[in-house]
Amino acid sequence: FGLVVLVSGTGTLLQTLLDAAAEPGSVFAVRGVVADRDGIAALDRAAAAGVPTVVHPLTKGSDRAAWDAGLTEAVARCDPDLVVSAGFMKLVGATFLARFGGRTINTHPALLPSFPGMHGPRDALAHGVKITGATVFQVDEGVDSGRILAQAAVPVLDGDTEDLLHERIKVAERQLLLDVVRDLATRAAHPAH
């Protein structure tokens, strides 16, 4: 069961998948990593694990549909069973969704449908919620709007800053993502009778 992981940043979610895939008897492998920008730690993490990487930047003024078609081709070359968006900061488009829509998952550092978008932890903190968390969901054409697959609750503590809270959420988010990937890989290996 092969993954392609889409990244834009530090890649701690990717690292969790790389570490698990390296364990003996892992039910999944990471076949490739695609980034929308160069010079990010996630690419170093992939290289250190010997996983092929592709950088597919959305250059200024370039045609978004062309970028989406290029992303789709880059991902298709790895022939993934599942695409995992792990801190990827771009919205995939119609071409990508037509090809991989049913098997692309994303994580979000809040309990969707609350606090979608780029600043989940900051928005939760600003709203004063006492419990927030992480969500793993199926990517659709919207923003953080697809079918929810799993969630984990994370407390907001007194004195939390956005970073403190986001790091606490990411601990839960990493385990939640790994649990979902392992479950999907296991189901693929043993289809329900």
Gap between the Cα atoms of 92 and 74, Å rounded:
13
Q: Is 118 annotated as a binding residue?
A: no
Binding mask 5-24 for ligand GRF (x = CB under 6 A): ----xxxxxx----------
C-alpha 92 chain-centroid distance: 12
Q: Is 64 annotated as a binding residue?
A: yes
68 versus 173: smaller Cβ distance to ligand GRF: 173
Give the number of other Cβ atoms within 10 Å of residue 54's Cβ: 18
Least CB distance from residue 89 to ligand GRF, whole Å?
A: 7
**Quick one: which of 30, 67, 170, 181 contacts ligand GRF (CB under 6 A)?**
170
* Token duo for residue 100: 């991989």
Binding mask 27-56 for ligand GRF (x = CB under 6 A): ---------------x--------------
78 to 107, contacts with ligand GRF by CB under 6 A? 86-87, 107
**Using CB atoms, what's the residue nearest to ligand GRF?**
87
- Binding-site residue total for ligand GRF (CB under 6 A)? 14
Q: Is 106 annotated as a binding residue?
A: yes
Gap between the Cα atoms of 166 and 51, Å rounded:
27
> In terms of Cα–Cα distance, which of 19, 150, 7, 187 is closest to 84?
7
> In terms of Cα–Cα distance, which of 148, 149, 147, 152 is closest to 187?
149
**108 is a catalytic site residue:** yes
Gap between the Cα atoms of 39 and 145, Å rounded:
29
**Quick one: which of 32, 70, 109, 133 contacts ligand GRF (CB under 6 A)?**
109
Give the number of other Cβ atoms within 10 Å of residue 98's Cβ: 10
Q: Is 7 annotated as a binding residue?
A: no
Q: What sign has the CA pseudo-torsion 180, 186, 189, 193? A: negative
Residue ranges that bind ligand GRF, judged by CB under 6 A? 9-14, 42, 86-87, 107-109, 170, 173
